Amino acid sequence: MRVSKIWSSVSQGARKQNEDRDGKHYDQWSAPTPTEEIYVIGAEFTQYELPIGNVTAMAYLRTPDDAMANKYLTTTAQYMEMYRQMLGPYPYTKFALVENFWETGYGMPSFTLLGSQIIRFPFILHSSYPHELLHNWWGNSVYIDFDTGNWAEGLTAYMADHLVAEQRGTGAEYRRSTLQRYTSYVDASTDFPLRDFVGRTDGPTEAVGYGKTSMVFDMLREQVGDENFVRSFQRFYRNNKYAVGTWDDIRTAFEDTTDKDLKPFFEQWYREFLEPGEAPYAQI
Closer Cβ to Zn ion, 73 or 108, answer by number: 108
Rounded to a whole number of angstroms, the minimum distance from the CB of residue 12 to Zn ion is 17
Could you tell me the smallest distance in angstroms from the CB atom of residue 199 to Zn ion?
9
Nearer of residues 56 and 156 to Zn ion, judged by Cβ: 156
Binding mask 43-82 for Zn ion (x = CB under 5 A): ----------------------------------------
Shortest distance in whole angstroms from residue 164 CB to Zn ion: 14
Nearer Cβ to Zn ion (125/262): 125
Quote the CA–CA distance of 162 and 181 in Å, as a whole number.
15
Looking only at residues 147 through 206 of this chain, which bind Zn ion when binding is defined by CB under 5 A?
153, 156
d(CA 127, CA 78) in angstroms, rounded, equals: 13
- Minimum Å gap between C-beta 132 and Zn ion is 7
Count of chain residues binding Zn ion (CB under 5 A): 2
Sheet with strand 55-61: strands edge to edge: 2-3, 46-52, 55-61, 94-100, 111-115, 105-108
Question: Are the C-beta atoms of 47 and 34 separated by less than 8 Å?
Answer: no
SS3 276: coil
Within 13 A of 275's CA, how many CA atoms are on the CB side?
A: 2
Q: Closest distance between Zn ion and the C-beta of residue 160, in Å?
A: 8
Q: Closer to Zn ion by CB, 15 or 131: give it.
A: 131
Q: Could you tell me which residues are beta bridge partners of residue 8?
A: 43
The candidate with the shortest Cα–Cα distance to 220, out of 145, 228, 207, is: 228
Side-chain half-sphere exposure of 225, counting CA atoms within 13 A: 6
* 146 touches 198 (CB < 8 A): yes
CB of 203 to Zn ion, least distance (A): 16
Question: Which amino acid belongs to residue 66?
Answer: D
C-beta of residue 171 within 8 angstroms of C-beta of residue 164: no
Q: Which residues contact 53 (CB under 8 A, 6 or more apart)?
A: none
Closer to Zn ion by CB, 13 or 139: give it: 139
Q: How many Å apart are CA 281 and CA 181, to the nearest integer?
A: 11
CB of 76 or CB of 156, closer to Zn ion: 156
Nearer to Zn ion by Cβ, of 112 and 156: the residue is 156
Please tell me the total number of residues recorded for the chain in this structure.
Answer: 284
Q: Which amino acid is at 147?
A: D
Residue closer to Zn ion (CB basis): 46 or 112: 112
Min CB(272)–Zn ion separation in Å: 24
Rounded least distance, CB 86 to Zn ion, Å: 17
Residues in contact with Zn ion by CB under 5 A are 153, 156
